[in-house]
Chain A
Amino acid sequence: MGKNNNLLKEFTKGIFKENPTFHIVLGLCPTLAITTSLGNALGMGIAVIFVLVFSNLVISSIRKIVPDKIRIPCFIVVIASFVTIVELLMQGYLPDLAKRLGIFLPLIVVNCIIMGRAEGFAKNHKVLPSIFDGLGMGLGFSLAILLIAGIREFLGTGKLLGRTVFLGFSPSAVFILPPGALLTLGLLLCLFKKLKKEG
């Protein structure tokens, strides 16, 4: 029972308490660039969960073999391999989505969340907790970008997932442009700070 509880804890901490986007403010580039619509955010979220879970798995299983001095390049190669797998899969099966995510698909390699979890967790934990950590952090990241994308798509186009929500709502296009992304994140960070302060 205690063991299960621990796993659950590794899983849930990424979602609110140590949410990578709002708490540690990591991995910002994709957070802002691809959150113009819910669909894009969903694709990006799934890609990141996949890479995070598998890179955590591999890194924590090779953690005893890799010499400390060259661990960073080793981790990067592991991460880059999984990113390439996702890239090829997405280009094969979801070419439209791959085109919309564009350059940000290969850039998952340098998403600091993934390297951060490898260095901060998988490096010195067993395989199973590392998988759950990856899953939770990935989910936390996905929820965060879904929230931002939802707000931006709704305010910017009046639609959600491409469907009109209210009739007679006049959207302000600035929210799907770069300034809107920064503004939304700034205000959300402020809100998150308030929520945390109140407990």
Chain B
Amino acid sequence: MDIKTTLMIIISMVFINNFILSKFLGLCPFLGVSRNIKPALSMGLAVIFVMTLSSIVTWLVYRFVLLPLNITYLRTIVFILVIATFVQFVEMVILKKSLALYRTLGIYLPLITTNCAVLGVTVLNIDNFFVNNHPVAGSFFYSVLEGFFAGIGFTLALLIMSGIRERLMLNDTPSLFNDLPIAFIVASLMSLGFMGFNGFRF
């Protein structure tokens, strides 16, 4: 694992290939919980948490269960089950350990199972860091890094969007554009802005 690849993964996941604005992963929660800043932040934290940990778990499952048994075609089924179980488990642990955190994340946790960004990042990890069914050097570290920073990128976009939408509420938009249509157009302009990061070169 060298510094250059590490840096590239970080910048690419947060800015250039931002999951929401350039890959269209996780749009449902992006529009669903971006009306106010506070729930958006909670959702973002929950997603970072789940994405990082499921990157760890699915990498281990793929490397030590699916590959040796030669059943990699079951990847989709196994990963979604792992994520669903895992989210349930995290919910139980948080409920037991910290009621305050549970109240903040509460309803957003179960929703994460169907967030395609989570399944997306785990599938991408396997596509990127396994070549011909062999893990590349530092594969595990990169996968976890990608999971964590994809979560950060998701949270960043969600926070910007919720800030803009809070302001939009006070504005007088044409009635046909109220709520969702205008949110899409705002997202489109944001995405145009993020495209500017494409110019980054190493």
Contact = CB atoms under 8 A, between A and B. Distances in A.
B182 A186 contact: yes
Given A32-B24, A106-B75, A187-B185, 7 more contacts: A73-B81, A80-B80, A84-B73, A109-B76, A179-B195, A186-B187, A186-B188
Contacts of B195: 177-179
Q: Is the interface of A mostly helix, strand, loop or mixed?
A: helix
Contacts of B115: 110
Majority secondary structure of chain B interface residues (helix, strand, loop or mixed): helix
Interface in B168-198: 176-177, 180-185, 187-189, 191-192, 195
Contacts of A76: 80-81, 84
6 contacts: A29-B27, A109-B119, A178-B22, A185-B184, A189-B180, A193-B181
Contact of A29 (B116, B176, B184): B116
Given A29-B28, A115-B114, A182-B191, A189 B184 contact: yes
Contacts, number: 108
B116 A84 contact: no
Contacts of A80: 76-77, 80-81
Nearest to B193: A179
B127 interface: yes
A103 interface: yes
Contacts of B76: 80, 83-84, 87, 106, 109
Interface of B: 21-28, 31, 73-77, 80-81, 84-85, 114-116, 119-120, 123-124, 127, 176-177, 180-185, 187-189, 191-192, 195
Interface residues of A, number: 40
A107 B120 contact: yes
A106 B78 CA distance: 12
B185 A182 contact: yes
Interface in A17-67: 25-26, 28-30, 32-33
A25 B187 CA distance: 15
Given A32-B27, A84-B77, A106-B76, A182 B188 contact: yes
A112 B124 contact: no
Contacts of A187: 181, 185
Contact of A112 (B25, B114, B176): B114
A174 B189 CA distance: 11
A77 B192 CA distance: 38
Interface in A142-199: 174, 177-183, 185-187, 189-190, 193-194
Contacts of A88: 73
A72 interface: yes
A21 B5 CA distance: 38
A92 B94 CA distance: 44
A29 B24 contact: yes
Nearest to A186: B184
Most buried by A among B24, B25, B73, B182: B24
Contact of A190 (B74, B127, B176): B176
A6 interface: no
A194 B176 contact: yes
Given A76-B80, A109-B80, A178-B195, A29 B25 contact: yes
